[in-house]
Amino acid sequence: MDASGIYDQTSKYLNKKMKSITIIFWIAIILASMPLAGADSTATIHGVVYEWDTFEPTDNAYIEINTTPTQSIVPQYGIYSLELPPGNYLITATSYKENTLEYSTEVPLTITDNGTYVIDLLLMPVYSDIVESEEDEKQPTLQASTFSIAIYILLAIILMVAIERTTSRNKTDQKKHYIRPEIEITEYSAPEHAEEVLPEDEKLTYPEDMEDLPSDLQEIVKILLSNDGRMTQKDIRSRIDYSEGKVSMMLNDLEKNGWVEKRKQGRGNIVFLKNEHERE
C-alpha cells in the first residue's frame, strides 16, 4: 500500500472519531444544562412556626415536606425557608416534649410557578386521637353507667311517691284525731287611773279653712300634718287608697290652691304643706 492510501484511511478514521467526540460533547452540554433549567423553575417557600397559645415563634419545632425523598427542617427561632419545584405538597410541623407529641399541624401546598410563597404554621394541641381512643375504651363503661343512673332515678321517683303518700296519709289521720283544746279565757279589767289614749287625728290641730276643701284633699292634708308637713309623693300614695294618677291630680289641685308645694328630688317629688301665712 502506497502513502496516499494510508493517508486516506487515516483521514477517514479521524473523521469518525471527531464525529463521535462532537456528539458526546453536545450530549454533555445538554445534560449539564438540565439542572440549571430545573433550578430556574423552583419556588421559594418560607414562613414562621408559631405556638398556639402565645402566637410567638417557637424553637421547638420540626418540619417535614413529602417530597421524594422527604425533606426535613429544624427552624431556628421558628423561621424556615426551602426551595421546591412546582407540584402538590403537604407541609407537616410537629413539636415534641420528652418524646411525646404535643403539638402538630398540616398545611397543603400547591406550587404552580417559581414565585415566593409565605406559609406560616400554627402548632395546635394534639388530643383528638387520645380522646377518641379513650371514648372507645370507656364506651362500655358509659353504657353501664347510663343504665345504673336510670335505675337510680327510677328508684328515687318510687321513693318520693311513697314518701308523699305516707305524708298525706299521716296528715289525714292527724285531722281525723285532732281534738280542739279547751282554752280558758281570763278577763282583765283596765286600771282605775288609766290615761285615755286619743286617736292620732284628735291630737292634731287643723287649719280652719281646711273645711273648704273636698274630703279627699282634706285626707292628704291630714297625712301631711301627721308627718310634720313634709312627705314624698310615693309615701303619700302608700298611705291613701287612691291610684297613683288620682294622687298626682289631687296634689296638683292642692298646689294650685296654695296648700302644698312640690319639689323635684331624683325621680320623685317631695311635698311640703304650707302654713296659713304662706297660703295667704
Percent of the chain with pLDDT over 70: 67
Q: pLDDT-based confidence at 189, cuts 50/70/90?
A: very low
Nearest to 80 by CA among 117, 125, 52: 117
Tell me, what's the pLDDT at 115? 86
Tell me, what's the pLDDT at 34? 54
Q: Is it true that 43-129 and 206-279 share their CATH fold?
A: no
Give me the DSSP letters along 115-151.
SEEE--EE-EE--HHHHHHHHHHHHHHHHHHHHHHHH
Higher pLDDT, 62 or 137: 62
For the cut 50, the answer to whether the pLDDT of residue 185 exceeds it is no
Tell me, what's the pLDDT at 135? 54
**pLDDT per residue as tens digits for the range 80-116:** 998 999 999 999 999 998 889 989 999 999 998 888 9
Q: For residue 222, give the C-alpha cell.
A: 291630714
CATH, range 206-279: 1.10.10.10
Highest mean pLDDT among 19-23, 144-148, 234-238: 234-238
**pLDDT per residue as tens digits for the range 111-140:** 988 889 999 999 999 874 444 455 555 566
**pLDDT per residue as tens digits for the range 263-280:** 988 888 899 988 776 665
Tell me, what's the pLDDT at 144? 61
For the cut 70, the answer to whether the pLDDT of residue 202 exceeds it is no
Tell me, what's the pLDDT at 65? 94
Percent of the chain with pLDDT over 90: 22
Tell me, what's the pLDDT at 188? 37
Higher pLDDT, 94 or 77: 94
Region 165-175: mean pLDDT is: 70
Q: pLDDT-based confidence at 195, cuts 50/70/90?
A: very low
**pLDDT per residue as tens digits for the range 44-57:** 999 999 988 888 99
Q: Where do the structural domains in the chain lie, given as residue ranges? A: 43-129, 144-172, 206-279
Q: Tell me how far apart the alpha carbons of residues 50 and 168 are, in angstroms, rounded to a whole number.
A: 68
Return the half-sphere exposure (C-beta side, CA atoms, 13 A cut-off) of residue 186: 2
Tell me, what's the pLDDT at 183? 46
Query: Which residues face 104 on adjacent strands?
Result: 94, 124
Tell me, what's the pLDDT at 257? 86
Q: For residue 170, give the C-alpha cell.
A: 299521716
The class of domain 43-129 in CATH terms is mainly beta
